[in-house]
Amino acid sequence: MDGGHVRGEPAGLAGSMLPVRFAREADLLLVVAESAEGTAVHLLSSRGPGVDVEPVESADPTARLARVTFAEPAGAGTAPVLTGSAAERFVAELRAWAQILAACELAGIAVRMVEETTAFVQVRKQFGRPIGAFQAVKHTLADMYALASSLRNLCDVTLEDATSSSADELLVLAAVAKAYAADAAVRVCESAIQMHGGTGFTTETDLHLYYKRALALRAWYGDHEELTHRIGDSLLTGSQLAEPRSTS
């Protein structure tokens, strides 16, 4: 769980996390806590003592969000599953895989938007012929297809390389995939809405659901601008990729 701050104290965990996707549906919560001894990873029941899961409003109607608050005796008497350097390494890799999976989900959204738009422009007519026959529409669809296809190919290659990469390489692979996905998928969605004309700006179609999910995923574990700066700093300085400022 990311998006807040949890402290590990003798009496248990203290603090809150916001937002947490699908926290109310989860049976177990993986919690990253900081204490005087360093980073620790805990595995707690979402319905255990001292754990409060409160639903919050979500801009993405397909993803439920919640605020998870920990108070005494949450985690009391239960040893963390990982501590110290092992916990830090695990958390870094976990966040990297979260970035990769978010990129893959964004790729799926982009591909679906291309399919939906291609089908629509073949049946929607203007001036007596399908709007897909107009050069401007063809150019937009070609750009959408190029973005969606390149994103999907990038995700395929990233998944193939990630399983055999070192820890540092994994961080870079994940950041590159998420940075490109955060930009490309949103651009494809915006073009899809434009190609659907007035219909695209209503809730009568599913376009708004895909667009809202893309906007929500864009910010998770770093958006395009933040990740691009982090990747550039790492390449220029030869240092390890820094953690994102926000991991919500």
DSSP letters for 222-238: --HHHHHHHHHHHHHHT
Q: Residue 203: its pLDDT value, please?
A: 84
DSSP letters for 144-159: HHHHHHHHHHHHHHHH
Question: For residue 2, is pLDDT > 60?
Answer: no
Q: Which amino acid is at 68?
A: V
> Does the CA dihedral 8-11-15-17 come out positive or negative?
positive
Q: Where are the beta strands (DSSP E) in 51-150?
A: 51-56, 65-70, 82-83, 125-126, 129-130
Task: State the Cα torsion 24-26-28-33 to the nearest 10°.
Answer: -60
- pLDDT higher at 54 or 2: 54
* Cα→Cα distances 103→63, 73, 117, 180, 217, Å: 16, 37, 21, 8, 8
Please give the helix or strand (H or E) that residue 28 lies within, else none: strand 28-35
Q: What's the predicted TM-score (pTM) here?
A: 0.89
> Which residue is listed with tokens 């190919």?
153
Summarised one tens digit per residue, pLDDT across range 114-169 is 999 999 999 998 898 998 999 999 999 999 999 999 999 999 999 999 999 999 99
Q: Residue 204: its pLDDT value, please?
A: 83
Query: What's the mean per-residue pLDDT of the chain?
Result: 91
For the chain, the helix, strand and coil percentages under 3-state DSSP, each to the nearest 5: 55, 20, 25
Summarised one tens digit per residue, pLDDT across range 224-247 is 999 999 999 888 887 778 666 544
pLDDT band at 50 (very low <50, low <70, confident <90, very high): very high
Residue 216 CA to its chain's centroid (Å): 7
Spatial distance between the Cα atoms of 196 and 152, rounded to a whole number of angstroms:
23
Per DSSP, 76 falls in state T
222: left (phi over 0), alpha (psi -120 to 50) or beta: left
